[in-house]
A and B are shown apart, each in its own frame.
Chain A
Amino acid sequence: MSLRDQDQSPGQMAAGRRFAAAGLAVAAGLLALAPAAHAEDQIPTVPAPPASGDASVQTANDPLEGLNRASFKLSMGIDHVVLSPVTHGYLAVTPKVIRNRVSSAVYNLGEPNTVMNHVLQGKPKRAMRSTARFVVNSTVGVLGLFDVAAKMHLPPRGADFGQTFGVWGAGPGAYIYVPAMGPLNVRDGVGRVLDVVTDPVSMFVGGFDTDSGKARTGVTIVDLRAQTDPAFHALKDAADPYVTTRSAYSQYREAFIREATGEAEELPDFDTPPATPTPRKAAAPKP
């Protein structure tokens, strides 16, 4: 019972935002408000799934570990000779102000895809807010270079197909490390493919076969690598960088999905795990 009570909390934290957003929702269309408020208010009261939902945090679903480790090693090698030098060059020659403009522009181009996923997740308010962001930032924000919308109380709120599948109830599935794409799981891998093939901007402006599409892909990759550079540094501290990546990625994605579902996070009891070996621990893969 107490667990269910805690499920209310993420929704509550968003309560202030919800009211701010309600103002916008009314402005955008009265009709939308009632169902939207209803939908968002309902989410936190949905009972949490049984404790097995935290499997991704507790034990790794990694049946292809051998292959994945090889793939991880290869990718880190490639990163070391290609992507890392390019990124550090970029970090060295461009001031942070410029890099923030680039990040904003890259994010802005992804906004239509975000809107699409908010709709698929049944979140009309978020969809409207993201639409407003795209319109404002693409115009007033000079093709997305400036995140003007964030200053108008429309902070970015990402969404992708992996998250949508998660909201629909899909578990992460097996972990996979794809060379040149990085850590993924089955759910988010399928999501990633869908993100690419259904991307509205690619369809209307030009996909990878056009120069603009190629430029966008290149810039997106360098921007992502630059943004995750601290994580790459952190990996140097890890005793087992492969497992650290797997653990961090899984937690990051589950948190991203909880952001959409409003579910509470399942955490291990801090003091008990060593004392009582659970069946899950016993089933952990032995090398």
Chain B
Amino acid sequence: MTSPGKTMKNTLFTRRGANAALLTFFGAAALSVASPALAAQARDPGAEAFVQAKAQRVVTVLANKSMSEAQKKQVFHQAVDELADVPRVTNFVLGKYARTITPDQKARFAAVFRTYAENVYQSRIDDYRGEQLKVTGSVVRKPGDVIVNTVISGGQITQPLPVSWRVLGGGQSWKVVDVQFKGIWLAITQQQDFVSTIDNAGGNIDVLINQLQKNGSGSSGRR
């Protein structure tokens, strides 16, 4: 297994070396195409630094084998406040019902959603059990609304897993509002889930609150 692998690698490297000159030639042509695009692309170093620091912390905590589940839950709970804009997410996942919810319902929903979301997000990140998070770039959708792209690797991850974070804010204060795995945004998916649940209950938001209370506690019990 090893020796043929080496041979293949070696031939590839030799070929690469031999073609270095050609590459430079074509590279010049390619660069001339790429550079205007480079200029147009907007990255946000502040948002990237924020995600690198805070998201790495969450990944590190969840990968820590010496911590008990209860400890992890507690640290994750604190980390969520630093990492995520919970009130904004709470509002977003209600979709059109954010306009009609009563203050009393809103208070109850916020409490239930917080517990539910912590369990869900922790499970999702935990499913992959990676160790290192590396920012690979970012896209400024508009000022203060940035997608930061990362890959998580190490641990039980065989192939680096791309994860994107949507962060809002600016300057020194950024907060994550959504996370994307395999093309799927968690908050967007939750919004569709919740709005549909309320729709099917004839617009009764209490039905969703009760449902989340059930699911949230059930989810924490698994694994």
- A positions within 8 Å CB-CB of B: 2, 5-6, 8-9, 11-13, 15, 18-19, 22-24, 26-27, 30, 33-34, 37, 41, 44-45, 57, 60, 96, 100, 136, 140, 142, 146, 148, 150-152, 155-156, 230, 233-234, 236-240, 243-244, 246-248, 251-256, 258, 264-265, 267-268, 270-271, 273-275, 277, 281, 284, 286-287
Report whether B141 and A26 are in contact in the complex, using a CB–CB cutoff of 8 Å: no
Contacts of A12 in B (CB 8 A): 34, 37-38, 41, 137
> Cβ of B189 < 8 Å from any Cβ of A?
yes
A180 to B179 CA separation, bound complex (whole angstroms): 30
- Count CB-based A-B contacts (< 8 Å): 181
**Can you name 17 A-B residue pairings with CB atoms under 8 Å?**
A8-B41, A9-B41, A19-B27, A19-B30, A22-B23, A22-B26, A41-B33, A44-B37, A140-B4, A151-B5, A156-B159, A234-B123, A239-B194, A247-B184, A267-B185, A271-B88, A274-B91
A234 to B34 CA separation, bound complex (whole angstroms): 41
Report whether B127 and A230 are in contact in the complex, using a CB–CB cutoff of 8 Å: yes
**Closest A residue by C-beta to B136:** A13
Known contacts A237-B123, A252-B182; is A274 also within 8 Å of B215 by CB? no
A247 to B23 CA separation, bound complex (whole angstroms): 43
Report whether B200 and A270 are in contact in the complex, using a CB–CB cutoff of 8 Å: no
A-B contacts besides A12-B137, A152-B8, A270-B88, 17 pairs, CB < 8 Å: A8-B37, A8-B40, A12-B37, A23-B16, A34-B26, A100-B158, A136-B8, A230-B128, A234-B120, A237-B215, A237-B218, A239-B197, A239-B212, A252-B183, A264-B139, A267-B185, A281-B96
A137 to B188 CA separation, bound complex (whole angstroms): 38
Digit string of B115-159 for contact with A (CB within 8 Å is 1, else 0)?
A: 010011001100110000000110111100101010000001011
Closest beta carbon of chain B to A250's beta carbon, Å: 9
Known contacts A8-B37, A140-B8, A239-B212; is A252 also within 8 Å of B184 by CB? yes
B contacts with A: majority SS? helix
A281 to B34 CA separation, bound complex (whole angstroms): 39
A30 to B215 CA separation, bound complex (whole angstroms): 58
Known contacts A5-B41, A12-B41; is A146 also within 8 Å of B26 by CB? no
Contacts of A22 in B (CB 8 A): 23, 26-27, 30
B8 partner, pick from A148, A233, A284, beta carbons under 8 A: A148
